[in-house]
Structure 1
């Protein structure tokens, strides 16, 4: 079947990626990664590859891992005029079709595909499908002699097993910053808690490389935090179409309820939500019948609604793949709806932990990690102050005496501030903005007990320039520091002084007056001397 006249027109970089792929094949490579981030047009690229395969008489097995992706994949295949069969419950089988769109879940229940003569295997969302039991069987047992093409937007995975252990080489689309410059991705704005005020997750244990869901629920699904994100939404992005990434489905429901309580139409999509109902919710969001759609692990992958402007990051993660996928949901352009940019409100600290898509310089094939994230060893525990029972650290109610910890845990409820990727920061010319970024670096160094030069290093690395000397003034304690602030700063400087210069006291004096101003060291020294005299 020839491609219809309405077949998608490829962008120049998509054509170049496909040509790169065929050059790799000509060189003898049979296991190739195709890396294309959100908005790069993965379905168009994969559709063109499938069209080329069918025109050459190849048999292609196309693996997907989510039900919703079967329909999305087929829609793109139809746009290219391709003949498809399905290995998916509820979809018509056609074993003679040259392309088989296959759900890895259904493949586990059916056997005939094991002898189907596929010459090409295409792994959609390869960071998942390739590592499934079925995906591994296809590559190494049932179709070891086929060409294996593994497409993903996020090559880095949690755990030790990485794409580089199974694939030989890669081809890639341009990274996000280049796609933004070309106009194919939306420019972004990011808001987060102040860098020195991101929630401490040390008490939340790690399971299989990411934060334990039970611990995250206790840390994140709290009325004051849910209420705060609604307040921040109303302050920063009122009226904009929004999706929220939550810890679990109960958390997602609580967030939606709080938005509705504030008079903002909201809904929740769940893993059990039928596809037609999901599509109805997505249409409601597009048409602004609702403004907020919350979920847990449902709209991180396979959600394609370019009009969405805002993403609420409410689930802390250690997974860079999940982090980039979530940001990607709001990076698509939508000139038809007047979308000016994508916006992230990060209550989870993920930007501080995992960075920004714009700072991806190039793609690579990650290799196995020698020391994969673990969760090995005993989980952290704490002792109940009321009855003395030892319990897991993330438990908030003692099973022995019902003592509650939740009211004792501090929650940072400061307003969010705008934060910047390295790519964005290098372009900033506004001096007050640069000063505030430098102040954040100073506060971060102070709160982590790192020496002041570390703040200067952070700022140079982030902004690509040096700070001005007068920017240090009032950067940590503000314009009205107390005597206790000054004493705390002196005690902070003292352990670092021996590493800087031949005269530690001179170094302390210079750093002290950088923060508090000329002459303040002498005043402080006199005050400390008087205190010592009074004690004697």
Structure 2
């Protein structure tokens, strides 16, 4: 290893909560810590002149690497080799990370990890009780969460969340992702009120209290651990089987990190994902095959059009768009048929095409622009999406 050759290594993380666990991992793998500078990027960027010049820079969760702080560090230590690790090599806007990285190395997929017992299999349920269609999008490309607290209160969503947990994962240890501190604290209190022991933590929770809560979660005393954007990227938490998603996102990276948090492998375990905010309709199932690219422009790895799933109306199980019946409850899916309304006062005209639209299961099944527009309408996509997809498929010259 580099440190065994007495070369200095700079290891960058983006959260202070990750430093201790990464240090423990490096030490347990016989890394000579005398040659490792382990620190938060926010700290290192302010102390560049006081940081030992590294031969190698390692970046954890490197999909953040396009931030100016990372760029400044890399430019300052321009002779160092740079290696980044991430499960989701994509920025929020949808493009790749080619501005910084030269080579993208992909070894395994999520499906391979499940099939080879590195991740547990899962069941995905999507009872969408939070309405996200009216949320504004901020300049960063992410949802504006400011109106969600009102929706939670006026629609009494707290009880719905608990009922679905009891129905789909009763008694299982769960991590709940909220969209505000208020929601997280309210959900913890709501679970406790019905005898399901829960606690809340966030980035401002004192370390001693946070460590104690995680310890009790690890020991099984706490059943539901509610948090706001803390137990996500790289954060090492005790094994649990269930994830409850109350935080809508436009970020594929954040979606994968959070939805797969309960999939740490254990023999006989099946992870349960309960998505109350429709994230699966934006991104598809967490282990679906995706084409990653370093290209900086917007690509297919982020567009919601590549989310070929459907949700059982009986049990909320989420399955592939091509499935003929629900694998959980057995409900058979019917072919979606939409009839065009007829104006009775209109003149009779010769019928040259059927006034019925058979909606294709996926874009690749579409035979012409008529099919694509029908598909877009069924998914709630804009007609512009169908136009650009039609050009790429050769329907429009």
SS of the residue corresponding to residue 214 of structure 2 reads helix
In the aligned structure 2, how far is the partner of 1:431 from the partner of 1:112?
Answer: 58
TM-score w.r.t. length of structure 1? 0.58
Q: Distance in 1 between matches of 2:162 and 2:328?
A: 31
Unaligned runs of 5+ in 1: 1-51, 85-96, 374-413, 462-536
The whole-number CA distance in structure 1 between the counterparts of 2:248 and 2:153 is: 12
Mapped contact 1:320–1:354 kept (Cα < 8 A) = yes
Shift of 1:58: 2.4
Aligned 8 A contact 1:306 1:332 in 2: no
User: Per residue, is there more helix in 1 or in 2?
Assistant: 1
Cα deviation, 1:106-131, whole Å, max 9, x if unaligned, reads 224424345x3211111111112x23
Number of residue pairs matched by the alignment: 340
Q: CA deviation at 1:355?
A: 1.1
Q: Note if contact 1:65-1:104 (Cα within 8 Å) is conserved in structure 2.
A: yes
Matched, 1:351 2:285: no
Partner of 1:119 in structure 2? 55
Query: C-alpha separation between the residues in 2 aligned to 1:307 and 1:366?
Result: 35
1:64 aligns with 2:13: yes
1:80 aligned to which of 19, 24, 29: 29
Alpha-carbon shift at residue 357 of structure 1 (Å): 1.9
Determine if contact 1:285/1:291 at 8 Å carries over to the other structure. yes
Residue 81 of structure 2 aligns with which residue?
147
Equivalent pair of 2:149/2:182 in contact (CA under 8 Å): no
Helix, strand or coil for the counterpart of 1:285?
Answer: helix
Q: Aligned partners of 2:286, 2:194: CA distance in 1, in Å?
A: 32
Q: What CA distance in whole angstroms lies between the structure 2 residues aligned with 1:446 and 1:111?
A: 65
Paired residue for 1:333? Answer: 265
Larger radius of gyration: 1
8 A Cα contact 1:162 1:368, kept in partner: yes
Assess, with a 3 A threshold, how the Cα gap between structure 1 residues 347 and 430 changes in structure 2: closer, same or farther: closer
* Closer, same or farther: CA 175–363 of 1 in aligned 2, 3 Å: farther
| Map of 1:420 onto structure 2 | 319
Q: Which residues in structure 2 correspond to 1:321-470 (within 5 Å)?
A: 321-335=253-267, 340-369=269-298, 416-421=315-320, 433=330, 436=332, 438-439=333-334, 442=336, 452-457=357-362
Partner of 2:39: 102
Would the alpha carbon gap of residues 260 and 121 (structure 1) be closer, same or farther in structure 2, given more than 3 Å must change?
same
For the 8 Å contact 2:231–2:237, the answer to whether it is kept is no
Q: Is the 1:232–1:415 Cα contact (8 Å) retained in structure 2?
A: no
Alignment partners' CA distance in 1, 2:7 and 2:339: 62
Does structure 1 retain, via aligned residues, the 8 Å contact 2:217–2:238? no
Per the alignment, in what secondary structure is the counterpart of residue 206 of structure 1?
coil
The equivalent of 2:176 in structure 1 is 244
How has the CA–CA distance of structure 1 residues 269 and 421 changed in structure 2, closer, same or farther, with 3 Å as cutoff? Answer: farther
Q: Contact 1:359–1:421 (CA<8 Å) still a contact in 2? A: no
- Which has the larger displacement, 321-330 or 276-285? 276-285
